[in-house]
Amino acid sequence: MSDSTIKVGFGAADLTPPPGLQMSGFSARTKTATGTHDPLFARMLYIEEPTGPEGSLLLITFDLIGMAQKLVREIKQGVREKFGIPAERVILACSHTHGGPNTLDNGLLGNHNDAYLASIPGKVIEAVGHAVGQTVPAELHLNQGVAENAGKNRNVEGGPMDPNVGVLGVTGPSSNELLGLVLNYTCHPTVLGPKNLLYTADYPFYTNRLISEKTGLSPDKILFTQGACGNINAGHTAKSSMTNAGLSLRTYEEAEKLGGNVGKAALDALESIQRDPAKFRLKLGENIPVVEEKVSLDWNPALWATPAGVGDFRREKEAALATGEWNQRADASVLVRWADIMLQEKLDPPWPPLQATLTAARLGRLNWVTAPGELYVQYGLALKEKAAQSGQSAWLLGYTNGVYGYYPTPNAFERKDYEAATAYRYYGWPGPFTDQVGEHIGAAALDLLDKISEK
């Protein structure tokens, strides 16, 4: 097919919870949400092939910290049953905002609210019906901008980061009218810290608002996807989110600055598209290729939890509860809860490895590769570099179709980065993955790029 024969549809669902729910992402945040700064949405782009739903693609982005596997299954199953779109062609991509409720599988930062979780699939599937039922002819255009003074490597000063803002512009086939936009940027949405008690998408809200104001495009039609941001944020350390450190800079004003920088980069890229649409137009083939690959997430046997070790750890954290500063007590409270859960679990023999599913989809020369978790930026950069060698582009979509944890580089385990040495407890796991987990996920992403290029 030619790029002028595709059709697209957009939809959106407001997923903002009621006040009073526990928020997710920070151990130092001990109070429930008091209200809403900006609503949390699911936004969707349906790209329809002439052959129908079986060969089409549905991208749904969420202003949520991540997606529990139960939600992934329910949404994909509902979409398949109602609209005939195969499960592997439904991409559920979360921004990883820490300004919303806990929607992860085993995450211990904030308790689940069962009624809220149960409300999500129905709202999303209803909005998908709007996207599928109101398609229009369209063309796709690809460009990128560079965000200045935005994301930073939070573990290594001056370390690797990815300043590029990917822009997929959706326009009318002849009028060049802007119909919608998909963005890809690599930075934790954690400008707002543990003192924030308002629901918010964090800096992507301001990115969306700026683009909407400058283009007249509805905010519902601006979709944000997150990159390989496991070690990338606005500049604070992971440990500072457990303390008072740097909270004076973790404000909505700072979120607006970062989001504005990302938005300006996207607008620059969009302006180039609109000046010369033919230069940036994607030429699709006879279908939208999609392939999947499973990766085993192996546990590190040397660091697997034992009842004796967990008991010692619990007593250490109980001491912090009794004598520590407020932030130490807040963190210790979460870790005591982890220890209690572990002591109730059957830890011997060790659990079987988790199975992570990665998905690749190709839109002309643009390749999307998804990862269910927090991949270090080095792997996202390697994916982009490999695609560029063959004249193509690639976006790594993190926190997509689920979240199992962090996928660091081997030297992050040597340095004992938070993501490698500690974070597994906040995810509710009895131990960390092996120090090769990032290498395995990164290699699978590169392998999928090869496979999708051959389709």
DSSP characters for 174-230? TT--EEEEEEEE---S-SS-TT--EE---HHHHHHHHHHHHH---GGGEEEEE-S-T
- Partnered with residue 9 across adjacent β-strands are 46
Three-state DSSP class for 305? coil
CB 235 within 8 A of CB 154: yes
Sequence-distant (≥ 6) Cβ neighbours of residue 184 within 8 angstroms: 165, 166, 168, 225, 226, 227, 395, 397
d(CA 445, CA 326): 42
* Residue that has been written with the tokens 């209803």 in this structure: 126
Compute CA distances 336 → 5, 90, 152, whole Å: 57, 38, 32
CB 365 within 8 A of CB 393: yes
Nearest-5° angle of CA 129, CA 130, CA 136?
A: 115
Torsion of CA 156, 157, 159, 165, to 10 degrees: 120
Residue type, 120: I
> pLDDT tens across 146-185, in order?
998 889 999 999 999 999 999 999 999 988 899 999 999 9
d(CA 268, CA 452): 29
Whole-prediction pTM: 0.96
CB 139 within 8 A of CB 79: no
Three-state DSSP class for 385? helix
CB 33 within 8 A of CB 129: no
Query: Pairing relation of β-strands 41-49 and 52-62?
Result: antiparallel
Sequence-distant (≥ 6) Cβ neighbours of residue 154 within 8 angstroms: 188, 231, 232, 233, 235, 236, 237, 238
Residue 268: how many other CB atoms lie within 10 Å? 16
- Of 160, 255, 191, residue with least CA distance to 25: 191
pLDDT for res 327: 75
CB 176 within 8 A of CB 275: no
**CB-count exposure of residue 59 (10 Å: 0-12, 13-18, 19+):** buried
Extended strands (E) in 215-372:
222-226, 232-233, 290-297, 354-363, 366-370
Predicted confidence pLDDT, tens digits, the chain (455 residues): 444 479 999 999 999 999 999 999 999 999 999 999 999 999 999 999 888 899 999 999 999 999 999 999 999 999 999 999 999 999 999 999 999 999 999 999 999 999 999 999 999 999 999 999 999 999 999 999 999 888 999 999 999 999 999 999 999 998 889 999 999 999 999 999 999 999 999 999 999 999 999 999 999 999 999 999 999 999 876 666 665 555 568 999 999 999 999 999 999 999 999 999 999 999 987 789 999 999 999 999 999 999 999 999 999 999 999 987 877 889 999 999 999 999 999 999 999 999 999 999 999 999 999 999 999 999 999 999 999 999 999 999 999 999 999 999 999 999 999 999 999 999 999 999 999 999 999 999 999 999 998 87
Q: Which two tokens stand for residue 274?
A: 């609109």
pLDDT for res 2: 44
Compute CA distances 392 → 33, 175, 448, whole Å: 43, 26, 14
- Partnered with residue 226 across adjacent β-strands are 185
Nearest-5° angle of CA 431, CA 434, CA 435?
A: 125
Percent of the chain as helix, strand, coil, to the nearest 5 = 40, 25, 40
Sequence-distant (≥ 6) Cβ neighbours of residue 239 within 8 angstroms: 245, 418
Q: What does the chain come to in residues?
A: 455
